[in-house]
Amino acid sequence: MSEAKMIEIQVLRYRPEQEDEPVWQSYSVPFTDDMSVLQGLQYIKDEIDGTLSFRWSCRMAICGSCGMMVNGKPHLSCQTFLRDLAPGPVRIEALAHFPIERDLVVSVEPFVKKLESVKPYIIPKEPRTLEQGEYLQTPEQLAQFEQFSSCINCMLCYSACPQFGLDPDFVGPGVLALLHRYNADSRDGGQAQRMEIVNSQEGVWSCTAVGYCSEVCPKHVDPANAVNQNKVNSAKDYFLRFLSPKGASK
């Protein structure tokens, strides 16, 4: 019977009721080649230290719950494998740029409020009856928004974005990608209603095209494209707003 391979996992702990500052804690975890970082954390919680707190659900990179910093980079822990991090140590920290509630759990409420604020639903161009039937879209029309609809709200892009880190009021890459998903959908007529957010400093104008958001996105949404495309749209809106009173936004 061969010895189990061991790896050191260091976790930044934070328990507000017992400490003022986060503190690193080290665990020695046996691992096999098929184990994810999430499974490593689950081993710690089940066998070593039941007080470790972290979010997870689907363990297959679709729910967006298990985002965390692994060796300084934002990752989904269910999609990051211990074999790739061996011999370790593996340093795990809560998602960057978010306040830590406890251990690896961050405050997500502001993010959810931002999602709600961009009117993330089809606003029809004109009222439509059932008798008119379904909308028709060409594959090209679908392709204009489809990748932006793949977002799983995992917030890795927010951890990648230094502008969000510096200004938590920045609406951010994920939410702007969601906004763009609707603006770019040929069925939608709500662009003018969403422009107020786009045009504000907290909208696209906080972005400096670092581009890291698109690098870390596990679903290849390319939020950098969504945000920077809308800089052009916002600039057009800014300069041409006096020409078209009917179509201009506030």
**Shortest distance, position 214 Cβ to another protein, whole Å:** 8
DSSP 103-115: TTEE--HHHHHHH
> Phi/psi zone of residue 241: left (φ > 0), alpha (ψ -120 to 50 degrees), beta?
alpha
Stretch that binds another protein, among 2-10, 15-23, 45-53, 84-92 (CB under 8 A): 15-23
**Shortest distance, position 134 Cβ to another protein, whole Å:** 22
Site for another protein in 165-184 (CB under 8 A): 165-166, 184
Q: How far is CA 13 from the centre of its chain?
A: 22
Is residue 110 close enough to count as binding another protein by CB under 8 A?
Answer: no
Cα distances from 234 to residues 125, 149, 237, 248, in angstroms, run: 20, 21, 5, 11
Task: Name the nearest CA neighbour of 147 among 202, 208, 214.
Answer: 214
Output the CA torsion 47→34→100→203 (10° steps). Answer: -160
Is residue 232 close enough to count as binding another protein by CB under 8 A?
Answer: yes
Is residue 234 close enough to count as binding another protein by CB under 8 A?
Answer: yes
Interface contacts to another protein, rule CB under 8 A = 14-17, 21-22, 72-73, 96-97, 99-101, 107, 139-140, 143-144, 162, 165-166, 184, 196-197, 199-203, 205, 208-212, 214-215, 222, 224-225, 228-229, 231-232, 234-235, 238-239, 250
